[in-house]
Chains A and B, each alone.
Chain A
Amino acid sequence: MIVGRVRVEPPVMNASGVVAASAAGALKVEGAGAGAVVTKTFTLRPRRGNKAPMVVPYLGGLINSVGLANPGIGGIREYVEEYRRLGGSLPIIVSIGGETPEEFGELAIAATDAGADAVELNMSCPNVSWTASWEDIASIVKESVAAAKAAGIPVWVKLGFGKGLLREVKAAVDSGADAVVLINTLPAMLIDVWAMKPVLGGVTGGLSGPPIRPIAVKAVWDAYREFGDSIDIVGVGGVDGWEAAAEFILAGAKAVQVGAALSVVGLDVIREIADGLLSYSKKVGRPLEELVGAVHRGLP
């Protein structure tokens, strides 16, 4: 499947920030049978992230407040080169987190120079202060995509669920983004009632996993209904098996990313999803490409 100008076969990847924080983690994702690897989000400056607990299992998913821990822009080249040196052969999608469109542009150039296959603009992390301060996210999306595209690399945009989501997807479409990744974790919080304190080291965080899947499927469904094939969609949020992946594909996604399940269930879930999708496609007698958005066309 060609997704956002990148061949992703099978159409299953890890979600940014999960397992593939290092080249060693990326190789694990590759070994588990993914069709592409998505890096941890790189920011311009290094970030240590929040205190532990930064990840808490919850209702079959996770609440995290990792806070984009990463070595900064200099880590991009190191990551990509080490992955290739160790024999990694999958397309590599470098996730980047800028505070401004200019920073997205700078990070995209670094990813391009390092040999990345695409960049994923993380415009929706709930664990950093700058995304919360953006008043008009659609405008930021437009300017950031334009800045990143100038680097000459396929641009994917990861968005969070909210009232303005379709406006943001439209901004991505209008500015020539190659794919949107829907959706990021949902803002969340966990309180231990006996301790009477927030559990996460970052106090608040982002919820992922099966609890958010119906919301994520709805977001993909909405975006596909509104924009059809004018932009590729990658579905993410609670993909923990092939049925969940199939839901996203039927709603309009060309590929899925797996996040919480890699930790909660284990890395083997990637191969289960890939094999399961193939088997499902055979059972229903249609290739996966034909099943993208099928629910909108009333198949069978």
Chain B
Amino acid sequence: MSVLLELKRLVERPYHRHSRVLSVGGWVERVDNVGGLYLLQILTDSPLSPEPPQFGMVWVPGMEAVPMTLIPAGEDRVAILVRPVGSTTNALAAMRPGKRLMLIGPSGKGLRLRPGTAVVAGGSATTVALAYAASGYRGPYLVATRRASEALALRRLFPSSNEVVTACEDSGCDFLGTAVDAIREGAVDAGAYLIAGPKPMLRGAYTVLRERGVLETSYAVVEVEVRCGTGACGLCRVPGTPYLLCVDGPALPLTDLAAYLGVS
């Protein structure tokens, strides 16, 4: 009997195991203009349950799919923040409720932040901060954009209980300057950071955080060209590291990114 039970235990598992990455159709439920960016609420055919900062490939029928951070928005819903810069993102920005799209994801790994970790997000990566806020993380956050109008519009998307500092290069924000300036000047002071933004911003942050002795506890959300978004094609290598973005990222330990960022 025990042998039979053991054999049963060996074979007892679902025929199709739980998939790490799914393809899920969705319907645009609502579109909000947020200081020139577009926040799309999407009702999905089945739950995706992304954990920040996971992302997904967003397919607009007939167009090339693009990778975007998935913002949790409740059961059977996700949101994406779109900066209209290319043909697909322009098509997304022009979408109206009821339009169809598809999401392939969630890709990469979720990263649970230890309390007190500062999330610093700049440029199109400000969506990473929104994803953490939507998942219940209270901050502190530093949202950095070029224009104050964008930063202030984004600020309104955070729950009022969150600690959010804005930084921009014109007047009107809490801090005048770039994200890196803001970290250097202590606009958000923390023992650990998650930095999300373009490569020059990550490079600057790396140097400042090293000087402050908090590199080992900090992460960066990296952007490289993503082709399949599932980890299958293996083309999303982060140069100078052993990491594949769609498998290991998009958040990676800052200490492992010196070669990628070109800092010595």
Spell out A's residues near B (CB within 8 Å).
Answer: 17-22, 24-25, 27-28, 40, 49, 51-60, 62, 64, 66, 69, 86, 192, 194-197, 199, 201, 210, 240-241, 243, 259-260, 262-267, 276, 279-280, 283
Q: Beyond A53-B57, A194-B25, is A265–B19 a contact (Cβ under 8 Å)?
A: yes
User: Does any Cβ of A come within 8 Å of B86's Cβ?
Assistant: no
Q: Beyond A52-B57, A194-B100, is A21–B235 a contact (Cβ under 8 Å)?
A: yes
0/1 string, B3-24, CB within 8 A of A gives 1: 0000100110101110111110
Chain B neighbourhood of A51, CB < 8 A: 64-65
* CB pair A262 B232 closer than 8 Å: yes
User: Does any Cβ of A come within 8 Å of B262's Cβ?
Assistant: no
Closest chain-A Cβ to B66's Cβ sits at a distance in Å of: 7
* CB pair B102 A264 closer than 8 Å: no
User: Does any Cβ of A come within 8 Å of B261's Cβ?
Assistant: no
* CB pair A18 B232 closer than 8 Å: yes
* CB pair A54 B244 closer than 8 Å: no
Chain A neighbourhood of B231, CB < 8 A: 19, 262-263
* CB pair B100 A192 closer than 8 Å: yes
Beyond A52-B226, A57-B23, A195-B102, list 19 extra A-B contacts (CB 8 Å).
Answer: A17-B233, A19-B231, A20-B234, A22-B235, A52-B57, A52-B59, A52-B228, A59-B16, A194-B100, A195-B61, A195-B62, A201-B64, A201-B65, A240-B16, A262-B232, A264-B20, A264-B230, A265-B19, A265-B20
Chain A neighbourhood of B16, CB < 8 A: 59-60, 210, 240
Q: Is chain A's interface secondary structure helix, strand, loop, or mixed overall?
A: loop
Chain B neighbourhood of A62, CB < 8 A: 230, 232
User: Does any Cβ of A come within 8 Å of B199's Cβ?
Assistant: no
Residue in contact with B59 in the complex, picked from A53, A64, A240, A263, CB distance below 8 Å: A53
Closest to B234 in A: A21
* CB pair A64 B62 closer than 8 Å: no
0/1 string, B157-196, CB within 8 A of A gives 1: 0000000000000000000000000000000000000000
* CB pair A55 B100 closer than 8 Å: no
The answer for the CA separation of A278 and B104 in the assembled complex, in Å, is 35
Residue in contact with A19 in the complex, picked from B17, B25, B65, B232, CB distance below 8 Å: B232
